[in-house]
């Protein structure tokens, strides 16, 4: 068992180093082509690039070094091209990390003792997902993190905003439609307890709101139209029924209808009657 653990350790380190190196190659090649040929390429297109270049040439020639003239478009477009190279690197790195992850066995849901190889395999399997945000942090400021979680196996429905929520185990997370996560809300598919590692998928229904700093532990099954209060904990293997608010360790029925249901009600006029109330309508059609 120890020999296998050492082998997986070496594989993890080498795969990460190789992924970083290989992912950088296309970005470097693109940037090198940009430095050497981009100015001539744009000028060869003609209007408006050649016109702008001819207009700027006399203004720059007496003030800046000739190298600025030679690499005019490099300086003008340095920031967008730099971001493009960064995106190429991240896209390549994501694909390589996903590929490298396949070399580590995936553990099924259940308990695993700390003195077994499984604990180490779990940590190695997750490290690719943990490392990637350190390289993609710049884009995460401007873009939703949902695509990154999906790339590592999370199932997320339509119109769901992960935002500043944190998914510890995307491959063990299922989220429905129209869900929202408050700041630092955590969904975890694992927990350590009494020298054991417990793994189980977390499931969220539709129209679920998880408040800021709330923690949802493995095995939790949250129904539709549920609000998980801020700073609350949903213990492992807890089932929260639909149309409730989870606060102080218990589910409280919601008194008002969820927003999704209110949107389908007609605007103006009396609210629609329930079938049970139809018997109370007199023959003239007026409400009692």
10/96 same-domain check: yes
Query: Does residue 249 lie in a domain region?
Result: yes
99/3 same-domain check: yes
Query: Does residue 112 lie in a domain region?
Result: no
Strands 227-228 and 250-253: unpaired
70/149 same-domain check: no
76/171 same-domain check: no
Greatest CA separation for the chain: 94
pLDDT one-digit tens code per residue, 100-130? 999 999 999 999 988 888 888 999 999 999 9
pLDDT one-digit tens code per residue, 71-95? 776 777 788 888 899 999 999 999 9
Q: In the prediction, which pLDDT does 48 show?
A: 72
- The percent of residues above 90 in pLDDT, for the chain, comes to 55
Active-site residue list: 190
pLDDT of residue 98 exceeding 70, the answer is: yes
How far is Cα 162 from Cα 154, in angstroms, rounded to an integer?
Answer: 11
The model's confidence at residue 69, banded by pLDDT at 50, 70 and 90, is low
Place of tokens 């207009």: 55
Query: Does residue 48 lie in a domain region?
Result: yes
Supply the range of the domain harboring residue 165. Answer: 145-255
Query: Does residue 121 lie in a domain region?
Result: no
172/225 same-domain check: yes
Phi/psi region, residue 209 (left: phi>0; alpha: psi -120 to 50; beta: rest), is beta
- Comparison of pLDDT for 264 and 51, the residue scoring more: 51
Query: How many structural domains compose the chain?
Result: 2
Query: Does residue 134 lie in a domain region?
Result: no
Q: Measuring CA to CA, which residue among 5, 71, 61 is closest to residue 37? A: 71
Query: Does residue 286 lie in a domain region?
Result: no
Q: In the prediction, which pLDDT does 81 show?
A: 87
């Amino acid at each position: 068992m120890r020999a296998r653990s050492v082998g997986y350790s070496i594989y993890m380190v080498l795969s990460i180093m190789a992924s970083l190196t290989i992912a950088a190659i296309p970005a470097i090649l693109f940037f090198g082509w940009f430095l050497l040929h981009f100015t001539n390429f744009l000028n060869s297109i003609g209007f408006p690039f050649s016109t702008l270049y001819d207009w700027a040439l006399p203004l720059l020639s007496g003030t800046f070094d000739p190298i600025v003239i030679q690499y005019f478009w490099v300086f003008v477009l340095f920031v967008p091209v730099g971001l493009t190279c960064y995106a190429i690197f991240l896209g390549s790195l994501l694909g390589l990390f996903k590929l490298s992850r396949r070399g580590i066995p995936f553990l099924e849901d259940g308990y695993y003792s700390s003195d077994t190889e499984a604990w180490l395999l779990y940590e190695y399997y997750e490290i690719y997902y943990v490392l990637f945000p350190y390289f993609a942090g710049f884009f995460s400021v401007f873009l939703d993190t949902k695509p990154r979680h999906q790339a590592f196996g999370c199932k997320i429905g339509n119109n769901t905003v992960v935002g500043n929520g944190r998914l510890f185990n995307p491959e063990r997370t299922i989220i429905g439609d129209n869900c929202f996560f408050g700041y630092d809300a955590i969904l975890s598919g694992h927990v350590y307890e009494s020298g054991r590692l417990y793994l189980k998928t977390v499931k969220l229904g539709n129209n679920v709101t998880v408040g800021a700093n709330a923690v949802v532990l493995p095995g939790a099954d949250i129904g539709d139209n549920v609000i998980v209060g801020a700073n609350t904990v949903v213990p492992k293997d807890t089932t929260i029924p639909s149309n409730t608010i989870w606060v102080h360790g218990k589910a409280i029925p919601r008194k008002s209808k969820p927003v999704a249901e209110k949107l389908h009600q007609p605007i103006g006029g009396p609210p629609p009657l329930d079938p049970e109330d139809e018997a109370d309508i007199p023959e003239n059609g007026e409400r009692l």
